[in-house]
Amino acid sequence: MVALRIAESTEPTVRTKDELRALAEEAGRTLEGASAVEILTWADERFGPKWAVASSMADSVVPSLAAKVREGVDVLFLDTGYHFAETIGTRDAVAATLPVNVRTIEARQTVAQQDASFGARLYERNPDQCCALRKVMPLRKALKDYDAWASGLRRDEADTRKNVRVVEWDEQRSMVKLNPIAAWTQDDVDRYITDNGVLVNPLLFDGYGSIGCWPCTRRLKPGEDARAGRWSGTGKVECGLH
């Protein structure tokens, strides 16, 4: 059985993987209906500095919420080497203006090295492998430093996300997963952005509904769901992180 350490208040506590899983599952039930800040505060009280936020820099809603709970919280940004310039700019603006510690996580190989190993434009031939190399594996490695991680997943974004819990067990990484805005609607997000002056990737005002790597992201057509512009025409709907 794998033993994982949790810093609870100031006293480190050691819990087994099964205990951590039970903790996450119970919180998923009891924190349903709690505010995003309450959910992140629950995590902070149990994990201290050993929780982080993963952000794609489509907006900085979750980094902003996390900063209210823990100043200097780590915000992980996966730099795939394929980001739009606007996304890199949003990352830099978040790092400069929010009281968070932005950590840029890179893949083991540069894009040029990957091209040499697997051939150019792997994203066209095998996007699952490309996402595994440039997103899934680097995030898995980075998250080894933490006991819990938070993302901006929302139930109303896609069918694949409609059963997301506000706190759940991340089986893939054996750690606690926080989805503090799982129950938010797009209107909730827009209101929070307006009320709090939250930084937003400018591409969201340029026809994009969801922002990922440039080879796999296109502008939306009228009436399409926000994520329809991701891996369009391939049948792929998730990168494998969630």
What are the catalytic residues? 239
Shortest separation between residue 19's beta carbon and ligand SF4, angstroms:
34
Interface segment toward ligand SF4; rule CB under 6 A; list 61-69, 130-138, 139-147, 190-198 = 130-138
Question: Which helix (H) or strand (E) segment is 175 a member of?
Answer: strand 175-178
d(C-alpha 235, C-alpha 53), whole Å:
28
Q: Are 52 and 143 in contact (CB under 8 A)?
A: yes
CA angle centred on 85, ends 82 and 88, rounded to 5°: 85
Taking CB under 6 A as the rule, does residue 118 contact ligand SF4? no
What residue number has its CB nearest to ligand SF4?
213
The one among 46, 91, 135, 154 contacting ligand SF4 by CB under 6 A: 135
Helices 186-196 and 61-69, axial angle in degrees (round to 10): 60
Within residues 185-224, the interface with ligand SF4 by CB under 6 A covers: 212-213, 215-216
Distance between alpha carbon 205 and the CA centroid of its chain, in Å? 21
Shortest separation between residue 153's beta carbon and ligand SF4, angstroms:
17
Within residues 50-89, the interface with ligand SF4 by CB under 6 A covers: 80, 82
Question: Which helix (H) or strand (E) segment is 5 a member of?
Answer: strand 3-8
Taking CB under 6 A as the rule, does residue 130 contact ligand SF4? yes
Contact residues toward ligand SF4 (CB under 6 A) are: 80, 82, 123, 127, 130-131, 134-135, 212-213, 215-216, 239
